[in-house]
Structure 1
Amino acid sequence: MNPQALLSLIRRGLLVLLLIGAFGLVGELVLLEHYEDSLQLVPFVLLGLTLLVTAIHWVDGRKGSLRLFQAVMLLLIIAGPVGIVLHLRGNYQMEREFDPSVLGLDLWLAVVRGEAPSLAPGTLVQFGLLGLLYAYKHPALSSDQES
């Protein structure tokens, strides 16, 4: 197998991993009933966009669809830390209501171990990085195909 064919196969594998992960995370969020308020819908929207632009680019393969794909991957990377902060803030508020006397390291540990999984939104960052790895030096970016 020549290097270009191998690289194309690896890129397709990265997209398959991204699709499996996005579908799986949507399923997990549904099972966790992660839709109590409007902010909790953000991961559903972003994962839906991920699935949509990945499918579009899979079929289209041109520069325009790849740029759209990259934009959604950047949104995932931005949303991950925002979600982590929101989870930590929610856990903090819950812990302070439950036991206002807890302070310092005990409070921090309670917040990190709280009901909302603190680092779970980091999965969005991983998906975004996986997508950007797929797009890195992609042949469509150096071609004259616009869309």
Structure 2
Amino acid sequence: MIYGSCGPRATVALRWKGQFNENAKQHAFAYTFPELNHNEILGWVLAHKQAPNWSVVVLSDPDDSLKIRTRIEVTRRLVGEQVPWHEITAQGESLLERLMYLTYFGDFVSLYLAYLNEVDPEAIDYINTLKAELAKIN
């Protein structure tokens, strides 16, 4: 589970999800604060029964508002008891620098996960198969 704060940081969370899917060949899900606190947080009630290999990665920014910081902290207290919780804080002076920091960090993490999963991050066999099948109907 990859959680980012709203605005441009939400796009970075989606990037992490896509890189985990494609490079590490594993499922990942992305959502954003504050919206995840309205519904998704309830999905964690039984997480200990459903997903023993899940963990949460929160992409935070020094410019996150006090409300967002509070939401992250309360969510950590609720969810962090059930699954591992990791918070990555963006580094850099400008918003662009911080977005790039988080983007590149996620790319490296996805490659490391590919290594741990013993898969080739460049292989896209399922995508190629899908494209070949679709080409037959065009």
Q: TM-score, normalization: structure 1?
A: 0.26
More helix by share: 1
The structure having more radius of gyration, on CA atoms, is: 1
Higher strand share: 2
